[in-house]
Amino acid sequence: MFSFCTDPATLPDWQWWACYLTTGKHLAFYASFGTVLLLLALAAPAALALGLVGALAARSPNPLLAWPGKLYTSMVRGVPDIIFFLFVPLALDQLFEIVRHKIKCPDWGQPIWQGNDFVVCPAAKLPLSSAPQWVHEVYGFTLALIAFAIVFGAFAANTLKGAMDAVPKGQIEAAEAYGFSRGQIIRRILLPQMWIYALPGLGNLWQILIKATPLLFLLGVEDVVYWAKELGASKTSAFAYPHPDWRLWYFLALLVWYLGLTKISEAVFARLNARVSRGIVTVNGGNGA
């Protein structure tokens, strides 16, 4: 990046560090922080939307809605999260390729599953081998995003269902006595008042989501953990900037960053909780004003 970045072995200390910290790999490392923030910005609202749909379905008097809703809200209780994070991208990837295979290669005469191998025609592969690198990266990130949304949507559904159940039943019964429809009760009574009960749980869920972002590394996305491991590992004289094992310092930087992110999140949720509880009388008689 700098004009003096020629031979690293001849550079004085400050110039060596300036050149080392602005290499292409380090710029990718800095950009990976944006990847994590983008995942959080997209996964949180997607998970909240899925959670709201799941919670409303689980509370529905219609069994055709209630059973799928209850299944979705309970699916994360007995299975480790990592199983879902690894299963969902793989299952979606194969599903997409099977659909493309049926459309693009209808005359394919070989079975898709050949022993332990999953084989589709070259035109059905996602992404195509000829696609640029950024397409592969966006595709992998999208699959990871869907996995995060589905898993944390189930957690959010549990939280929101509990919050809906905590809304005083007397208000629901009064609305029914006045002739409110179920949709009007949900829009005017249930949803506006559930947030006071849901925000503490959603705040905890957000913190868990932040802590789960390093799973991007396991899903093949080049996130902050990938680059910290890559850049911090020992580099011999075969590299332009040789150095000993510095992974401790890279991961220490990630520790400080994640702690700062969670601290900011705590402050934001504290303000949100104070805002939604203003003027609300809770079950124990307290007033948020």
Task: Look at the domain 8-276 and name its fold.
Answer: MetI-like fold (1.10.3720)
The pTM is what? 0.84
Cα(246)–Cα(155) distance, rounded to whole angstroms?
37
Would you put residue 285 in left (φ > 0), alpha (ψ -120 to 50) or beta? left
- Tens digit of pLDDT at every position of the chain (289 positions): 677 787 777 778 888 888 888 888 999 999 999 999 999 999 999 999 999 999 999 988 888 999 998 888 887 767 787 888 888 888 899 999 999 988 988 888 888 888 888 888 888 888 887 888 888 889 999 999 999 999 999 999 989 998 988 888 888 888 888 888 888 888 888 888 888 889 989 999 999 999 999 888 888 888 899 999 999 999 887 788 888 999 999 999 999 999 999 999 999 998 888 887 765 555 444 454 4
The residue extents of the domains of the chain are 8-276
